[in-house]
Amino acid sequence: MTPLVLFQRWLRQPAFSAQVTVVLLLALIAAGGAHYTGFAAPQVMLNLVIDNAYLLVLAVGMSLVILSGGIDLSVGAVLALATTVAAWLLHHAHWPAWAVIALVLGGGAAFGVLQGALIHAFRLQPFIVTLAGMFLARGLCYLISVDSITIDDPTFVAVSQTQWQVPGGFISPSAAIAIAVLVVGIWLAHRSAFGRAVYALGGNEQSALMMGLPVGRTKLMVYGLSGFCAALAGLLFAFYMLSGYGLHAQGAELDAIAAVVIGGTMLSGGYGYVAGALSGVLVLGVIQTLIAFDGTLSSWWTKIVIGALLFVFCVVQRLLARPAGQA
């Protein structure tokens, strides 16, 4: 079998775009290691997960939403609202950390379920509903405080400063939580009845209804999980920044969508891998690290490169799109 035939078979594989992302990630790391001293050091690679733990959690929730054929533009604003609520309750109301964490996570899940209920009950477009949710969550941030609120709670400070030793360096509790969320997301998507319903819903909602699948319940769960992940990402961001602010994570929803698409999930829904969220987030992180190591390029080049990559992956997905029955 010739290399050309093998390459053509690879092109026809359903996992082609996800595999290309992994190849791109390895190529970027190899290029950075060849050009910059210390770029490929184990701790630098671990820092990719540490610095982007919140984005990985957002991307896991976004993956489930996009797989179901929807979109969630509110996650960045919910993240900021979570940091603001947590900071205000800790700093001004003096709530215990465990109560704040429980309230924030429950509130994020409830916010997502409400959006899912509006989408399903009134047959509204997810883009419009979650756009309204984005404005609502950002507005609530500024009702609480227009200024940044410092978090000095001992529990949050301790988590922020904790480092767990691993081969080659250390990771933070936030990075470990993000990896755990990724593992749970993979299990939900590929090993549970809920995951099968998500894929069926994204492939064709009418077919899913005819098969007797719980479409309404699945939508509520998908957006509820997305809201939960956004709130959890907000707590991880609060651990990282030790502050709450309405301007935190502006544009994070677009970064999460970009990571999901670059990771191989189709925007039309019904096809993709939650695991691709990790490779997508790491590609974005490696690009940022390359620009930081260079030192002469503006940070805006990160957005330019990500935009170009996103365009290319959308085109590739369109060219390789398969019928819904084969997704």
Strands (E) located in the chain: 149-150, 164-166, 169-171, 243-244
**195 domain residue, yes or no:** yes
**9 domain residue, yes or no:** no
Containing domain of residue 63, as a range? 16-326
Give how many domains the chain has, as a whole number. 1
The structure's pTM equals 0.93
Q: How far, in Å, CA of 198 to CA of 213, rounded?
A: 10
Mean pLDDT over each residue of the chain, to the nearest integer: 92
**10 domain residue, yes or no:** no
The torsion defined by the Cα of 83, 84, 88 and 89, in degrees rounded to 10, comes to -50
| Residue 293 reports pLDDT greater than 60 | yes
**322 domain residue, yes or no:** yes
**83 domain residue, yes or no:** yes
**7 domain residue, yes or no:** no
**3 domain residue, yes or no:** no
Query: Most confidently modeled of 91-100, 266-275, 286-295, 312-321?
Result: 91-100
- Residue 213 has a pLDDT of 94
DSSP string, 193-215: HHHHHHHHHHH-HHHHHHTT--H
Type of residue found at 220: L
CB 265 within 8 A of CB 276: yes
- What's 26's domain CATH number? 1.10.3470
Which tens digits make up the pLDDT trace of 5-41?
Answer: 665 565 556 567 788 899 999 999 999 999 999 998 9
**141 domain residue, yes or no:** yes
Please name the residues in contact with 155: beta carbons below 8 A apart, sequence gap of 6 or more: 97, 98
299-to-190, 288, 295, 305, 312 alpha-carbon distances in Å = 37, 8, 9, 11, 21
Which tens digits make up the pLDDT trace of 128-169?
Answer: 999 999 999 999 999 999 999 999 999 999 999 999 999 989
